[in-house]
Amino acid sequence: MPSQFCASRSLPNFTGTVLDKNLKLVAVLGTGAFGKVYKAIDLDSPADCPTFYAVKCLRLQPVGSHQRQQQEQEIRYHLAVAEDPRVVSLHRYFTSGEYLFVVLDYAETDVLEVLANEKVFHRRPDRVKEAFGEILDGVEALHRQGIYHRDIKPDNLLCDSDGKNIRIADFGLSTKKIRSLLLGCGSPGYMCPESLERSHPTALEGYSPKDNDIWAVAVLFCNFVAGVMPWQKALVSDPAFKHFIHHEDHLIHDLGLTKETNALLRRCFHKNPQMRPTLAEFRSAINAMERFTLADPLPSSTNAVTSNKQPMEGGSSSSSSRRSDGSEEEYSTPPTSCMPSSPSQSQADASARHAPKSGRTRRFPRRLFKAKGKHTPSPSPEPNTPAVQIERRKRRSSLQLLAKNLGLSW
């Protein structure tokens, strides 16, 4: 494991310390690869209505070093979009001795934890649309400024306890590069194939971090509607991804998706980045669907959830993580905490025929933290099914480990 991955272990515990005259650190919210995040109270705020912040602590790197440039870049890019309502506000930053402190909005929770609550998004396509309206607003705001996040995932999306008011956090891996030659930046499960392997056809010319963000949004959509990662890595060495490549209906059988949702995700996960939808096209597609999984209810009527902003596309892209010597490595940054009418009866009957059988009913979001039942193979020949089943267990285990690291019960 790279030494940077354990950098936060050398940081002292500042709980109880008063910083910058009025910020008292009262608890550790989380520890990541490079720093710790504390809950802080503003001592100047009213005692009966205190103001809380999240304070990120990093060891200040030597002037002129690559690591110092990365720290300065993280703050600079975050400040460029901090006024957007779909981005966590950065209030100020300061140094004290050999440490850098960044004062951010305090959030009740993050999307990863909310996904564990089946009452929030489970079988509620209207709520999924609302949440993705906010997420897409945030990603589009970054892209309009030519900033690409490169680590979009549930625990880097902060929100209220009811799953609303989603905001993007953690700009530690963000970039303004249009093309990137460095591989392995971000969280592997959310990265596009061209950002993962040197043997990819685009390896010599680099890949687009903007496209990588859009791929991550599509994987995130799988988290919301099915409660599971579609694969561990988008590589042919991953049995689930290989099975997806060779079987058109893989996501229907594996995640219980509708044909419309499957068609959208097959576009999102197309091997050619030029064939993938834009964020605006992705928004339009999900708003045009009544439901996303075969387990979702058949609504009599649904209103499409639209953006608070006009959908826009623009900017550049790039993606990767790097060591101080410029070599490549994989790591992730720490977390800071319209519609048609009701279908006819014949359509409903057809849906029932394709729905998972009673013994295979899946309570999707809980699968982020709890193993699902044994998967029944689809009727068509699937020689790789045993390997895919093993892969699913690995994917569930990785999410369970992530949940444990965040102190969640499952």
- Predicted confidence at residue 167, as pLDDT, reads 99
- Predicted confidence at residue 23, as pLDDT, reads 98
Phi–psi pair at 93, nearest 5 degrees: -145, 155
- Predicted confidence at residue 389, as pLDDT, reads 56
**Any binding-site annotation on 372?**
no
- Predicted confidence at residue 6, as pLDDT, reads 55
Q: Are 37 and 334 in contact (CB under 8 A)?
A: yes
The 10s digit of each residue's pLDDT in 167-201 is 999 999 999 999 998 888 999 999 999 999 888 88
DSSP collapsed to 3 states, the chain: CCHHHHHHHHCCCCCCCEECCCEEEEEEEEECCCEEEEEEEECCCCCCCCCEEEEEEEECCCCCCHHHHHHHHHHHHHHHHCCCCCECCEEEEEEECCEEEEEEECCCEEHHHHCCCHHHHCCCHHHHHHHHHHHHHHHHHHHHCCCECCCCCHHHEEECCCCCCCEECCCCCCECCCCECCCCECCHHHCCHHHCCCCCCCCCCCECHHHHHHHHHHHHHHHHHHCCCCCCCCCCCCHHHHHHHHCCCHHHHHHCECHHHHHHHHHHCCCCHHHCCCHHHHHHHHHCCCCCECCCCCCCCCCCCCCCCCCCCCCCCCCCCECCCCCECCECCCCCCCCCCCCCHHHHHHHHHHCCCHHHCCCHHHHHCCCCCCCCCCCCCCCCHHHHHHHHHHHHHHHHHHHHHCCCCC
CATH class of the domain defined by 3-105: alpha beta
Q: Which residue has the tokens 């013994």?
A: 359
Structural domain spans, the chain: 3-105, 109-405
- Predicted confidence at residue 249, as pLDDT, reads 96
Bridge partners (DSSP) of residue 96 are 99
The 10s digit of each residue's pLDDT in 343-360 is 444 444 444 444 443 333
Tokens at residue 24, please?
């008292």
- Predicted confidence at residue 376, as pLDDT, reads 38
Q: CA 367, CA 121: separation in Å to the nearest integer?
A: 13
Look up residue 367 and give its amino acid: R
Closest alpha carbon to 399 in 389, 390, 386, 408? 408
Query: Which homologous superfamily does the CATH classification assign to the domain defined by 109-405?
Result: Transferase(Phosphotransferase) domain 1 (1.10.510.10)
Bridge partners (DSSP) of residue 206 are none
- Predicted confidence at residue 146, as pLDDT, reads 98
Q: CA 54, CA 91: separation in Å to the nearest integer?
A: 10
pTM above 0.85, yes or no: no
Q: Are 139 and 279 in contact (CB under 8 A)?
A: yes
C-alpha distances in Å from residue 304, one per residue of 140, 287, 290? 19, 5, 9
Tokens at residue 19, please?
């910083």
Distance of CA 239 to the CA centre of its chain: 22
- Tens-binned pLDDT, residue by residue, of the chain (410 aa): 344 445 667 799 999 999 999 999 999 998 877 789 999 999 999 999 999 999 999 999 999 999 999 999 999 999 999 999 999 999 999 999 999 999 999 999 999 999 988 789 988 999 999 999 999 999 999 999 999 999 999 999 999 999 999 999 999 999 999 999 888 899 999 999 999 988 888 777 889 999 999 999 999 999 999 999 999 999 999 999 999 999 999 999 999 999 999 999 999 999 999 999 999 999 999 999 999 999 999 866 444 555 555 443 444 333 344 443 444 444 444 444 433 334 444 444 444 444 443 333 333 333 443 333 333 334 444 444 555 555 555 555 555 555 554 444 44
- Predicted confidence at residue 338, as pLDDT, reads 35
The 10s digit of each residue's pLDDT in 263-290 is 999 999 999 999 999 999 999 999 999 9
Q: CA 192, CA 309: separation in Å to the nearest integer?
A: 27
- Predicted confidence at residue 57, as pLDDT, reads 96
- Predicted confidence at residue 34, as pLDDT, reads 79
